[in-house]
Amino acid sequence: MSENNRIIKVHIFGEDYPIKGDFEDDAQAEQYRALVLDIAKYVDQRMHDVAEKSSNRSPKNIAVLTALNITDELLRLRKENEELKSRVSQKAVTLASRLEERLSPSPSG
């Protein structure tokens, strides 16, 4: 695969960025390309959202505020994920305990 085929060009907040991919075959390349384009689209949209609400229109400041917003979203989702995993784990332990009680032979018989 040529070096040019490993470059994905994305457009974010008025600027073009070449993103170099590292993949083994065409199937991986297409999956990576789709993922990078989705990410770039998300970042671009978030930057435009921040710019609409911001009085400071500096692209650098918009980028930093966007990074902070996306990081806040990521950390909240991680926390929610951990809480969900903990609840699922607790329920699994409770269910396993109940199953064990029901499946164990009774002392009387």
> DSSP code of 10?
E
- pLDDT, tens digit (0-9, with 9 covering 90-100), for 76-98: 999 999 999 999 999 999 999 99
- Do residues 19 and 28 lie in contact, with contact meaning Cβ atoms separated by under 8 Å? no
Best CA proximity match to 12, nearest among 76, 78, 70? 70
Q: How far apart are the first and last CA of the chain?
A: 71
**Which single residue is written with the structure tokens 């689209």?**
41
Whole-model pTM: value is 0.77
- pLDDT, tens digit (0-9, with 9 covering 90-100), for 18-27: 999 888 888 8
Q: How far apart are CA 67 and CA 43, in angstroms?
A: 9
